[in-house]
Amino acid sequence: MVVPTLPTPTGPHPVGTTSVHLDDVSRPDPWVADAPTRELMISIWYPAVRSPGPRARYLTQTESAAILARQQTAVAPDALSSVRTHASPDAPLDPGLRELPLILLSPGFTRHRATLTSIGEDLASHGHVAVAIDHTYETAATTFPGGRVAAFALGHGFARTAEFWHKVKTGRARDASFVLDRLLGENPPWQGAAALAPDRIGMAGHSAGGAATIAAMLADERIRVGGNVDGSTGPLIPPTGLDRPLLFLGRDGRYSPGDGPAADTWTRDWPLLTGWKRWLVVAGAKHPSFTDLGLLADQFGLPLGAATSGLRTMTITRTYLRAFFDQHLRDAPQTPFDRLHADHPEVRSCRPPDHPIGDGSR
């Protein structure tokens, strides 16, 4: 029997995690007409006091079954509920830490927030607080306190038009701002919130979550830096541009300049990014490779057609995202971002013809 395991976090801190239910009573749900408020579930990973005992559950059996049903695989429906994580549930935040950077994480369309666990755990082990958001009704299943489950609701009847994707991205931006409002406001729902640095906030996302990161940065100036991982973008950036640091990280063959419509969206955005910027592609990766699903597929023996293993692509993803956030959200000197390439030959820097890479400033 395969017992799937996530990669060990690479930082010096033990990792704690907790799940929090949030309810935005200021707006109705954008997708379900009879939902009078926008309810969200978030997962928080943070540097914690070392704690013995079992590690946090990855997914419930219901969530596992809903996600795997969409993949049409022969894997047992409850297989993802047995994934081994590395975070201690509800462990105390390390009391010696203050002014911690806060990183919001947004998963791909239909993907559960748990699919970004490897990234969240690794960031927390290096002294960041990572918060993954389930965008309700856009994911296969979201479980609320008491066991109530909100299932995916955007199937038949929701044509995948440009207007639809614009609503996804801007709606996720509102979710992100609401999460920040709650964590940084009075009476936050997490007891560790007092240790957060309100001027050290970043965001990253995979696929639709990556595109939504740009929308969130445009809507909320508290988000100082952003990472788009393998997500084509909409024409959101105004002619005046976006002057905060942005990282593009995607598949070679899909997001290299000239690869086609997806890469063309990055080419369109590139000259509008007026601050620090990098465009990186990873050889041999597939779309799920940048999330837990790539490395879990390898363990289950499910072929994705990726020439680079899911574990290797996740190692690259974690390394570059962490270096990006360290460079732009920490005061302490960090390893220069561009020196990472020597240890990661799969990664290549790109730029459209006749456009500079960026000034590299903070």
- What are the 10-residue block averages of pLDDT along the chain, 362 residues in total? 89 97 96 95 97 92 86 81 95 95 97 97 98 96 93 89 95 98 96 96 98 97 98 95 97 96 96 96 97 95 92 97 95 76 94 66 36
Examine residue 117 and state whether it is found in any structural domain, yes or no.
yes
pLDDT at residue number 70: 72
Token reading at 324: 């990006």
pLDDT at residue number 1: 63
Q: Is 253 exposed, middle or buried (0-12, 13-18, 19+ CB in 10 A)?
A: middle
Q: Across-strand partners of 282?
A: 251, 347
Contact predicate 127/13, CB 8 Å: yes
Q: Across-strand partners of 242?
A: 273
Contact predicate 328/341, CB 8 Å: no
Contact predicate 38/29, CB 8 Å: yes
Examine residue 116 and state whether it is found in any structural domain, yes or no.
yes
CA-closest candidate to residue 15, choices 96, 126, 131: 126
CA atoms of 261 and 300, how far apart (whole Å): 32
Examine residue 3 and state whether it is found in any structural domain, yes or no.
no
Contact predicate 284/307, CB 8 Å: yes
Overall domain count for the chain: 1
pLDDT at residue number 24: 97
Examine residue 260 and state whether it is found in any structural domain, yes or no.
yes
Whole-model pTM: value is 0.95
Dihedral sign, Cα of residue 136, residue 218, residue 354, residue 348: negative
CATH number, domain with residue 312: 3.40.50.1820
pLDDT at residue number 277: 96
Examine residue 357 and state whether it is found in any structural domain, yes or no.
no
Examine residue 58 and state whether it is found in any structural domain, yes or no.
yes
Pairing assessment for the beta strands 88-89 and 100-106 based on DSSP bridges: unpaired
Examine residue 42 and state whether it is found in any structural domain, yes or no.
yes
pLDDT at residue number 352: 86
Termini Cα distance of the chain: 48
Question: Could you tell me the residue range of the domain that residue 95 belongs to?
Answer: 15-349
Examine residue 7 and state whether it is found in any structural domain, yes or no.
no
Contact predicate 31/138, CB 8 Å: yes
